[in-house]
């Protein structure tokens, strides 16, 4: 298994750079003047387009541009992101922790509710709880995330004032930024940093700001998990060993929890690692609606604005996350299902 993991890890930079070649090639279909538009904010600057094309070498052959970029990458410089107003490497480091934090916070309810609801639906097949779970998961899934996001924001912020947008309230934000308070950002995860700094109120404040987007993500992501868990569970419940367990006289909860659910979780593991990858790659709409400074919002913005270094760096990062996520899924799969051996 170790050699399997090692081989997959060796592949990682290859995939990441392969993606950048693809992005670079695709972007070259756009006229240099269009790409120069990324450096322009108003029509009053138009006269400078030719100079901008020359300055950034936008009219050079694609391999020259790629080589220029690659050479910079080897010196540790991923380029300047015009949309983030900072170097690409810094942008990834600044925008990823909030997304990671949001993913971690959202993942807990997604897994707990998803597995519970799926199990309950399978065990009580065609009963009320099964119908309810179907209705919920399908309706959450059927409407786009911006509708749920806006609804959540409107109700939990506009009506109740529980879960405001952004990352921190004004008071907490000013506290964290004030050098006199020596608030150290150890991890970039605001909740964790708050605890490490011993500031419980900042922890609560940060959690309040995470709740809205996490709730939205839960609603949108849970459907698939519920449906997969339910069908997997149904399949397992029909297996011989479950019948054996029951005929041995084991109590029903033991049968379900120990014998059935553990095996039914196997496809869920694959699905959940894909869900994590999806969330880590950025949840553009949710981050935008909740004004959450995550990596997805930046990636989408960079793409819209033809911020080439930004898009390239972002894609490379997402590719790496995807490779790692799939690797994790494989490893977990082998761990939970002894029939599978990685080689």
Partner 1 sequence: MGSSRKLLALAAVILLAGLTGVAQGQVRNPDTLIYVSFADPETMDPAYAYDTASSTIILWHIYETLVFFSGSSTGTFVPMLATEVPTVANGGISPDGKTYTFKIRDGVKFHDGSPLTAEDVKYSLLRFMFMDRDGGPSELLLAAILDTHGTRDERGALKPGLFAEADRAIQVSGNTVRITLKKPFAPFMSIMAMWSMTVSKKWAITQGDWNGTAAGLSRLNNPKKPEDTSMFNKANGTGPFKFVQWDRAARQVILERHDTYWRQPAALRRVIVRVVEDFGARRLMLQQGDADIVAVSRPEQSGVEGLPGVRIIDDISRLITDGIFMNMNINVAGGNPDVGSGRLDGAGIPPDFFADINVRRGIAYAFDYTTMIRDCWRGKASAGNGPIPKGMFGHPSGGKWYTYDPARAAAAFREAHGGRVWTAGFRFGVLWNTGNATRACIASVLKANIEAINPRFRVDIRSITFPTLLQQYRESRLPVWILGWAADFPDPDNFVTPFMHSDGTYAKAQGYKNPEVDQLILRARFEPDPAKRRAMYAKLHEIAYNDVTTLYSYRVDFQVMRSWVRGWYYNPAFFGPYFYPMSKQ
Residues of this chain that bind partner 1 (CB under 8 A): 31, 33-49, 51-52, 54-56, 80, 83-87, 91, 94-95, 98, 146-147, 150-151, 153-154, 157-159, 161, 164-167, 170, 173-174, 177, 285, 288-291, 293, 297, 300-301, 303-304, 306
Toward partner 1, which CB reaches closer, 173 or 235? Answer: 173
For residue 177, the Cα-to-chain-centroid distance in whole angstroms is 26
The least CB distance from residue 287 to partner 1, in Å, is: 10
Contact 58, 36 (CB under 8 A): yes
> What residues are paired with 81 via a beta bridge?
86
Cβ proximity to partner 1: between 153 and 279 the closer is 153
> Of the two residues 268 and 280, which places its CB atom closer to partner 1 in the complex?
280
d(CA 284, CA 295): 8
Q: Give, in order, the Cα–Cα distances in Å from 225 to each of 129, 139, 233, 270.
A: 16, 14, 12, 10
Tell me if residue 7 falls in helix, strand or coil. helix
- Least distance to partner 1, CB of residue 57, Å: 11
Residue number with CB closer to partner 1 (34 or 62): 34
> Across the chain, which distance is largest between two alpha carbons, in Å?
84
Shortest separation between residue 341's beta carbon and partner 1, angstroms: 43
Distance, CA of 241 to CA of 63 (rounded, Å): 60
**Within 10 A of 73 (CB to CB), how many other CB atoms are there?**
19
Distance between CA atoms of residues 270 and 42, nearest Å:
47
Q: Which of 324, 297, 319, 284 is nearest to 94 (CA)?
A: 297
Measured CA to CA, the distance from residue 36 to residue 47 in angstroms comes to 12
Q: Please state, as a whole number, how many other Cβ atoms lie within 10 Å of the Cβ of residue 3.
A: 9
Q: How far is the CB of 194 from partner 1 (least distance, A)?
A: 16
Nearer to partner 1, 84 or 111 (CB): 84
**In the complex, minimum distance from the CB of residue 302 to partner 1, in angstroms, rounded to a whole number:** 11
Return d(Cα 338, Cα 319) in angstroms, integer. 29
Pick between residue 97 and residue 118 the one whose CB is nearest to partner 1: 97
Nearer to partner 1, 54 or 258 (CB): 54
Task: Kindly provide the b/e burial profile for residues 309-320, where b requires at least 16 CB atoms within 10 angstroms of the residue's own CB.
Answer: bbbbbbbbbbbe
Q: At what angle do helices 88-123 and 295-304 cross, to 10 degrees?
A: 120
- CA-nearest of 183, 219, 215 to 292 is 215
Please name which of 320, 302, 282, 299 lies closest in space to residue 101, comparing C-alpha atoms.
282
Instruction: Using the minimum distance from each CB to partner 1, give the nearer residue, 231 or 288.
Output: 288
Which residue lies nearer to partner 1 by CB, 197 or 326? Answer: 197
**Minimum CB–partner distance for residue 104 and partner 1 (Å):** 18
Minimum CB–partner distance for residue 191 and partner 1 (Å): 16
Closest CB 282 distance from partner 1, rounded Å: 13
The least distance separating partner 1 from the CB of residue 71, rounded to whole angstroms, comes to 15
Question: Nearest Cα to 327, choosing from 274, 266, 268?
Answer: 274
């Amino acid at each position: 298994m170790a050699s399997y993991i090692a081989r997959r890890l060796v592949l990682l930079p290859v995939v990441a750079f392969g993606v950048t070649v693809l992005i670079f090639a695709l972007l070259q279909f756009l006229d240099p003047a269009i790409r120069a538009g990324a450096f322009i904010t108003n029509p009053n600057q138009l006269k400078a387009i030719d100079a901008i094309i020359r300055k950034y070498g936008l009219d050079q052959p694609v391999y020259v541009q790629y080589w220029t970029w690659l050479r910079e990458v080897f010196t540790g410089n991923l380029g300047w992101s015009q949309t983030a107003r900072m170097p690409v490497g810094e942008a990834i480091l600044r925008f990823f922790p909030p997304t990671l934090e949001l993913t971690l916070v959202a993942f807990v309810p997604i897994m707990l509710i998803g597995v519970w609801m799926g199990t309950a639906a399978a065990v009580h097949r065609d009963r009320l709880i099964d119908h309810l779970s179907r209705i919920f998961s399908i309706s959450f899934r059927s409407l786009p995330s911006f509708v749920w996001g806006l609804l959540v924001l409107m109700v939990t912020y506009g009506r109740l004032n529980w879960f405001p947008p952004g990352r921190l309230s004004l008071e907490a934000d000013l506290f964290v930024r004030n050098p006199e308070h020596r608030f150290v950002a150890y991890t970039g995860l605001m909740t964790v940093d708050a605890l490490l700094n011993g500031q419980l109120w900042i922890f609560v404040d940060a959690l309040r700001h995470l709740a809205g987007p996490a709730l939205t993500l839960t609603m949108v992501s849970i459907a698939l998990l519920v449906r997969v868990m339910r069908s997997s569970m149904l399949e397992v419940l029909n297996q011989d060993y479950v019948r054996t367990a029951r005929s041995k006289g084991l109590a029903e909860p033991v049968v379900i929890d120990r014998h059935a659910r553990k095996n039914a979780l196997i496809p869920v593991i694959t699905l959940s690692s894909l869900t994590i990858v999806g969330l880590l790659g950025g949840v553009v709409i949710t981050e935008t609606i909740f004004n959450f400074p995550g990596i997805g919002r930046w990636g989408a913005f960079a793409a819209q604005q033809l911020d080439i270094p930004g898009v390239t760096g972002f894609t490379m990062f997402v590719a790496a996350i995807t490779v790692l996520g799939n690797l994790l899924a494989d490893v977990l799969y082998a761990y939970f299902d002894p029939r599978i051996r990685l080689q």
